[in-house]
Chain A
């Protein structure tokens, strides 16, 4: 199984709502990533988890709260978002550690989020 599965595929939420995005992989990868992608722009790194610990937070606003409950699952909790947070949210996974650079990363198809 070489898939990264993201749910839901589409999400519309109000600015006062709380919602969560889910990402799952069963490749034994110990590095997992969240990205935000606006139209016609490259993916922008938000968070990196390495061995289930948050290793990188790219100064993301606190209304985005990541969670890695186990080595296969990554969540992104959303609260009090703004319309400008509407974007495609991508999850990725890869091997971690010293050999991580020699292995490819796998991406999910993303969650298309619209904040109204």
Chain B
């Protein structure tokens, strides 16, 4: 798996936007950029993913750099429920030895009321 690098932690105020960065300088052309988050005492949950273009869904937006070596997860209005560990993961074709879904350390987001 190509490696991702994220800051250890970030703090935000409630109802303000949050930008969570991720570096993935060794990304290959077939890798999708995925974001998952894990709330306390729960399994990870999918947030968003993209390949080249920016993506929006009901949870967040994903901004992908033109060279694809970095991306940013954007939570438009942080809530207390968004306090979690956010993982940026690269996913290519799921075949044989390439089938890994590997978590890095993630970034711990704290949200202040």
Contact = CB atoms under 8 A, between A and B. Distances in A.
A104 interface: yes
Given A45-B100, A50-B99, A55-B99, A95 B105 contact: no
Contacts of B87: 42
Interface residues of A, number: 29
Contacts of A50: 94-96, 99
A109 B92 CA distance: 25
Contact of B43 (A55, A94, A96, A109): A109
A106 to B, nearest CB: 7
Interface string A93-116: 011111111101111111000000
A48 interface: yes
Contacts of B49: 102, 104
B94 A97 contact: yes
Nearest to B43: A107
Interface stretch (B29-37, B62-70, B76-84): B29-37
Interface string B21-55: 00000000011101010100011111001010000
Which bracket fits the contact residues of B? 20 to 34
B100 A56 contact: yes
B110 to A, nearest CB: 14
Contacts of A108: 43
A105 B104 CA distance: 16
Contact of B95 (A42, A97, A107, A110): A97
A76 B59 CA distance: 33
B100 A102 contact: no
A12 to B, nearest CB: 17
Nearest to B31: A101
A76 to B, nearest CB: 15
Given A100-B94, A101-B32, A105-B101, 14 more contacts: A42-B85, A42-B104, A43-B38, A50-B96, A92-B43, A92-B101, A96-B94, A97-B94, A98-B93, A100-B93, A100-B99, A102-B49, A107-B45, A109-B43
A43 B96 contact: no
